[in-house]
């Protein structure tokens, strides 16, 4: 098949998937070029859910799961990749910047869902993931965390506190191991 025909089919497929996602999730707003490879994500958006252009769900074995509670918001920037089994839970506010890559089985949550001590309130705090962040397989991002631009969160890390821009963080709890080299125009591929 000629390259021009393949390009046309690819673009048509992205437009069609964006329309399907909009129809299946009327409370959500999707930019153009949504692509789903494999299982369509399970989305329950009772609050505000806005996704930018070029959102890519790569889920050949397990769907992503996205839950946005009432009076909560989830914002996803342009050209974001969400892999198999990603779970995003927004009960207050979760912001994910543009050009982020989120690997398999990552959990991002702005609530702990339950009390830790008797009589204690359920903890909710905003999560902000700035532009061009890569979160490795099986990492967990907990309430109240900001991950700075261009940072990398290693596989299996548990992010319990802020990670500054241009940092590589590993471990449980995640700690900064070294700086990441990134120019102002760097975009992760």
Residues recognised as catalytic: 114
The two tokens of residue 60 are 């050949």
In SS3 terms, 5-45 reads as HHHHHHHHHHHHHHHHHHHHCCCEEECCCCEEEECCCEEEE
Half-sphere exposure in the Cβ direction for 115 (13 Å, CA): 5
- Give pairs for 64-68: CB < 8 Å, separation 24+: 64/88, 65/41, 66/41, 66/42, 67/43, 68/43, 68/44
Neighbours of 124 (CB within 10 A): 19
Residue 93 contacts by C-beta under 8 Å, 6 or more apart in sequence?
A: 72, 73, 74, 110, 126, 127
């Amino acid at each position: 098949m000629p390259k021009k025909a393949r390009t046309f089919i690819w673009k048509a497929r992205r437009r069609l998937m964006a329309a399907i996602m909009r129809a299946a999730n009327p409370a959500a707003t999707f930019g153009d070029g949504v692509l789903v490879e494999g299982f369509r994500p399970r989305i329950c958006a009772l609050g505000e859910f806005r996704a930018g252009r070029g959102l890519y769900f790569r889920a050949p074995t397990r769907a992503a799961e996205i839950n946005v509670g009432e009076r909560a918001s989830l914002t996803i920037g342009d050209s974001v990749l969400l892999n198999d089994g990603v779970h995003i839970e927004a009960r207050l506010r979760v912001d994910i910047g543009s050009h982020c890559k989120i690997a398999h089985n990552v959990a991002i949550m702005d609530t702990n869902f339950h009390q830790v001590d008797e009589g204690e309130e359920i903890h909710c705090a905003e999560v902000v993931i700035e532009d061009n962040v890569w979160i490795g397989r099986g990492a967990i991002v907990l309430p109240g965390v900001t991950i700075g631009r261009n940072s990398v969160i290693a596989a299996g890390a548990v992010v319990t506190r802020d990670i500054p821009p241009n940092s590589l963080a590993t471990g449980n709890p995640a700690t900064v191991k070294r700086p990441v080299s990134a120019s102002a125009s760097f975009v992760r591929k």
